[in-house]
Structures are given as C-alpha cells and as structure tokens.
Structure 1
Amino acid sequence: MEKRTWSIKELLFVAAGYLQEKGVSNPRLDAEVLLAHVLGVERITLYLEFDRPLTAGEVSSFRRLVKRRADHEPLQYITGKQEFWSLEFTVNPHVLIPRPESELLVEHALRVCGELNKGEEGGLTILDLCTGCGAIAVSIAKELPQAQVWATDCSGEALTVARINTERHGVASRVKLVRGELFEPLRSQGSKFHVIVSNPPYVATEDLETLPRQVRDYEPRQALDGGPGGMVFIERIIKEAPDFLAPSGRVMIEMDARQTARARELVGSVSAYRAWDVIKDYGGLDRVFIAGGR
C-alpha cells in the first residue's frame, strides 16, 4: 500500500493528467469539482489550501470518484447535483441532467406569464410536461410565488427526484407532481393552463448512437429517445395542447433546430393555434418553439 502523503496540489495534477488520458473534457475542472466534493468545500478553497495534506481516506474516496469520471460517467451523477437557473438540483441516473439551453424555457415562460397577467402572476397555472428532476417547474415556481405549477412525468423514479427538489426549494405546496405520459393523467381534471412548457425527449432514435458516451451510456434513454426524427412527443404535444390551454395560452417546447420546420407545419394544421414563434439559443440555433392558443 502506498505510504506517501498527498497534497491537494499534487493530487489534482495527477488526477487531471489521468482524466485527460482517458479523453475526458475539462479534466482539470472535473478533478477540482470532485476533490471539492470529497472534502466538502468550495473549489476556491482548494487553491487557498494547495499544500494541505490529505488523509488516506480522502485520497481513497477521491480516487474512486476519479475512476468513475474516467469511465465517462457524468460529473453530475457522481456528485448528485447540477446547477440550473442559479439553483442547485439533486440529480441521479433516473433523470436527464438539466442543460443551460433549457433555461430559455424558464426565461420565456416568465416573459409570457408577465404578458398574460400584465405583470401580476397571481392566479396563473403552468404545466411542465416531462419534468424529470423538476428543474423547470421548480424554477418557474420560485420566480412566480402566486402561480400554481403542475408537472408530469411517466417515470416514478424521476418524480421521486422532482419531489426532493420541490421540497428542497420550498415550493412543494405549489408544484403538483403527477405520474403519466404527457397529458394523459390530466384528462379527467378539466384543468386549463396559461403556459405549457416541455423539454421532451427529442433526440432522433437514429441519432442515439452518435451521442457522446457520457450521454449515450448513462442518461436515461426514455428521456432522450424522441422516436423517428425525434418528433414523436413534439407532435403529440402540439396536437393535444389546445385542449389544455386557457384562452390566449401558449405552449413552449424545447427542440432541435432541425425540427422547427416540422413544428411550424403541425401548428399550421391545427386550427386552435393562431401564431407561432421560435427562440434561438445562445449559439444562434433555433431552440424553443412557441405557439399561441385560441
């Protein structure tokens, strides 16, 4: 057994080199995040205590996590957390890891809510389809303290994670979690929503094998696979949403830039819609499709 004592600086150097050899993106950053997680400190503390000697237990725990990352397991699953909308969310392999692009859904849902209620959010009802860990639903609920948010998902395991996050952020009383696929569990409710948002599975089945290893091999397939062309759930949402929209309500869907043309065609074939818009992400690509109800 190795007898030497490792400092933070030395261990980070070796771990970053190892991760780089394994083809991990951002090896130094990942090594820092993992060591900070093991030590229970902020990353900046590592730099303030570069020469701090580590215990054998700390080194052993860190090495186990580095090995997992070297196998391309997502950093977020290893640490059990991901930041979204400046909030920290619990995540695990039962849920898709929230991406920065999905913050556009929150941003524009809040904008639309302001327009619909002239800046006063009281009485608004919002629906989040395919909620996963609940990041979108919770973020909206935090920003609109008078709103009621419903969130559906077909995965009971995902809803367990979402429930943890609603409680963690103090919105459990205003975010109703319902198990079922898309609108199915709501058909008997008679509820109408001012805004319907969704980040559904939209990766084309034929593209799944081309995804990065850390996505393809670790994130839940049912949260990724959108069927042929990635359009199965998008088409259903566009066609079914009018039955659940309040007057002047909007449906907002995250999708791939290659899917917006088909989404426009679908909206044109549904008489309940009167307008549509496309929001580009920060890379200049079409990302969020918005359609207006009757």
Structure 2
Amino acid sequence: MGEFSSWLSKKSTRLWLLKGISERVLWTIQKILDWSVDYFQKKGVDAPRLNAELLLGRALELSRVQLYVQFDRPLSEAELAAYKKLVQRRGNREPLAFILGEKEFFSMTFWVEPCTLIPRPETEELVERGLEFLRTRNPGPTRVLDLATGSGCLLLAILKNFAEAQGIGVDLSAAALALARRNAERHQLGERCSWIEQDLFQTWPESLSGPFDLITANLPYVSAAEWEALAPEIRDHEPKAALTPGPSGLEAFAAVLPQLPSRLQEGGLALLEIGADQAAQLPALAAQYCPGLQAAVHQDSAKRPRILSLSKF
C-alpha cells in the first residue's frame, strides 16, 4: 500500500516522514484520512471519504465527530496496523457494511453478514408503504408475513413501528434466519416474531397458510446477465441466491405470486420489491397468477419503478 505500508514496516522510533528540511510529519488522523481517500479513489470505491472516516472510527473506537475534533492526533503503530487491515479489505471491494458488521435501515441498526443481502435505502420505501397501509386499518392484532427475510430488517422495521403487529419471516438460509433472530433480540422484538426456513419454490407448510394482513417480499429479481455486471461489492460478496433466481430474474415471482391470494386477509395487501425494468411484465404476471387481486406499480423517490402492490378488496 505504498507509503502507508512502508511506514508500517518502520519501528516506532521512526513514526514520522521528513518533509522539506526539518519538519516532522506524524501519521495524524487528518493525514491518514487524506491518504485513504486517494487510495480508495484509485480502487474505485464509492464515497471514499465516508468510507475512510467510518473505518478509521471503527479502528480507533471513535465517532466521526470525535475524529473531526482530533485531526492533529497522531496514531500509534498498533492503531495504524488495525486500520490497515480494514483499508485493505475495503480496497478489495468488500462491502463496508460487512467490514463493520452492521448497517442502518429505517433508523434502526442491524447486524449484517455475508449470508444475507445488505439492507438498502430504497427498500425503506416498502416499509413506509406497509406502515401507511396498516395505519389506515382498524386497530387490533395484525399479522405480517415477510418472504426472503434475510437479516429480518424489513419485518422488524414494520414491527418496531406498528405495535399491534406480529410477524413471520421466511428464508431459505438457516444462517440468515439465525442472524434475523439476533436482530430481533437486539431490538426487543423476539417475542413478536417467528422464523421459518423454507424454499419458496417448494410446497409451503401449513404454518404459512395465513391469512395475513400484510405480506412483504424482497425476492431475488436480478437476471443472470445483470448479476454478471453488478459492482464487485455486490457480485463477489453478497449471496448470489438472494440476488438472482435464474436467467430472467422473474422466476421467484412466478413461484410466489400464485401463493398470495389464499394467504391474504380480505382487505389485505402484498408489497413486493421489483426491478425497474420489470414494471411492464409483473402486472401481467400478477393478473395471470393472482386473479382477484388489484395490482399496481409504485415508483421510489428516484422516480424508478420499485414496488408491486397487490390488494385484496
């Protein structure tokens, strides 16, 4: 890693570089951040400054605000060695969230691991729409089903913000469900939810028969060709099975849509995240597989198709 690696090989008595004739420059917080930004830019890392600050904060156990007020503070050799390991991982395009081990979603912090997708801001709009729907209903016990739950962030965000709801999260991955359980306990929601390991392409168990007031799903919907073109952070580190269901990207929808009509409560709603290029195809699939449900496509804040809603009225 160039100058940084060279520095790390020196003994503590040489914790400085000669600059000009007599000025001694330590590896301060400011200096190492500036170096990291340049390094990340060369590696193609998005938001290099933010990445550098969060990683350095983790290495030093400081908040970003604490970093700002200590820019002139020199780092010890042990601190620099710890930071170097984090920088190398990010330079290899490992996702920041996996390095930190957590990600914020809907103003909640969730544990994340490579067995699940990293929660994304655009999925928060599905939570918002689900909560808006639940708040328009008569108060009382509410059942929520979350398909392909992963870290559990979607279901848990809904439960956290709607006290009358109980939920079930479903995923193919036992490791993902173990992580979801940890996240539920982290947010004191463990008693209001349960978790079922299930392949959605196979026959669904009786425990998923419903009826449910709200069904949410962030199914794999990336086509095989699109997956090949994804950024290294996604393609090389997030679980492929959670991203792409097959060549077209529509395979999971074809498996799940026929299951929804019988599992939705009268007056219930299903919300599924979709790819922007699937907006024309999915309403037709819904009409084929979900007779009696009213389908609509909704845009996200970037004006891109993001959510397929299916209403049972």
**Shorter-chain-normalised TM-score: which range?**
over 0.9
**Partners of 2:290 and 2:202 in 1: CA distance:** 22
| Larger-gyration structure (1/2) | 2
Give the partner amino acid of 1:65: L
Q: TM-score, normalised on structure 1?
A: 0.95
Correspondent of 2:275 among 256, 270, 276: 256
Q: How does 1:281-292 map to 2 (within 5 A)?
A: 281-292=300-311
Residue matched to 1:26 = 47
- Per-residue deviation, residues 224-271 of structure 1 (Å, max 9, x unmatched): 012122101112222211121111211110001211222111222246
Correspondent of 1:215 among 210, 234, 240: 234
- Per-residue deviation, residues 186-220 of structure 1 (Å, max 9, x unmatched): 53124210110000101001221111111111111
Residues 267, 273 of structure 1: 8 Å contact kept: no
Answer with 224-233 or 94-103: which moved more.
224-233
Question: Aligned to 1:230, what secondary structure does the other structure show?
Answer: coil
**Partners of 1:204 and 1:243 in 2: CA distance:** 28
- Per-residue deviation, residues 125-155 of structure 1 (Å, max 9, x unmatched): 0000000001001100101112111100000
**Partners of 2:238 and 2:169 in 1: CA distance:** 20
Question: Aligned to 1:44, what secondary structure does the other structure show?
Answer: helix
**Partners of 1:261 and 1:64 in 2: CA distance:** 46
Describe the shift of the 1:96–1:105 C-alpha distance in structure 2 as closer, same or farther (beyond 3 A).
same
Residues 204, 230 of structure 1: 8 Å contact kept: yes
Residues 256, 287 of structure 1: 8 Å contact kept: yes
What percent identity do the matched residue pairs reach?
Answer: 35
**Partners of 2:151 and 2:205 in 1: CA distance:** 23
1:185 CA drift (Å): 7.7
Correspondent of 1:50 among 71, 96, 111: 71
Question: Aligned to 1:289, what secondary structure does the other structure show?
Answer: strand
**Partners of 2:200 and 2:182 in 1: CA distance:** 21
Is structure 2 residue 122 aligned with structure 1 residue 101? yes
1:74 CA drift (Å): 0.4
1:65 CA drift (Å): 0.4
Is structure 2 residue 114 aligned with structure 1 residue 113? no
Residue matched to 1:273 = 292
Question: Aligned to 1:96, what secondary structure does the other structure show?
Answer: coil
Residue matched to 2:194 = 176
Answer with 198-207 or 180-189: which moved more.
180-189
Residue matched to 2:19 = none
**Partners of 1:123 and 1:183 in 2: CA distance:** 29
Residue matched to 1:187 = 205
Correspondent of 1:65 among 86, 90, 93: 86
Residue matched to 2:158 = 140
**Partners of 1:82 and 1:187 in 2: CA distance:** 32
Residue matched to 1:243 = 262
Give the partner amino acid of 1:201: P
Answer with 12-21 or 128-137: which moved more.
12-21
Residues 85, 139 of structure 1: 8 Å contact kept: yes
Question: Aligned to 1:283, what secondary structure does the other structure show?
Answer: coil
Give the partner amino acid of 2:251: V
Question: Aligned to 1:211, what secondary structure does the other structure show?
Answer: coil
Is structure 2 residue 176 aligned with structure 1 residue 155? no
Residue matched to 2:244 = 225
1:272 CA drift (Å): 3.6
Is structure 2 residue 149 aligned with structure 1 residue 131? yes
Question: Aligned to 2:206, what secondary structure does the other structure show?
Answer: coil
Residues 257, 290 of structure 2: 8 Å contact kept: no
Residue matched to 1:89 = 110
Question: Aligned to 2:190, what secondary structure does the other structure show?
Answer: coil
Residues 239, 266 of structure 1: 8 Å contact kept: no
Residues 273, 291 of structure 1: 8 Å contact kept: no
Task: Tell me the number of residue pairs that the alignment of Structure 1 and Structure 2 aligns.
Answer: 291
1:49 CA drift (Å): 0.7
1:161 CA drift (Å): 1.0
Give the partner amino acid of 1:60: A
- Per-residue deviation, residues 153-172 of structure 1 (Å, max 9, x unmatched): 00011111111100000101
Residues 222, 245 of structure 2: 8 Å contact kept: yes
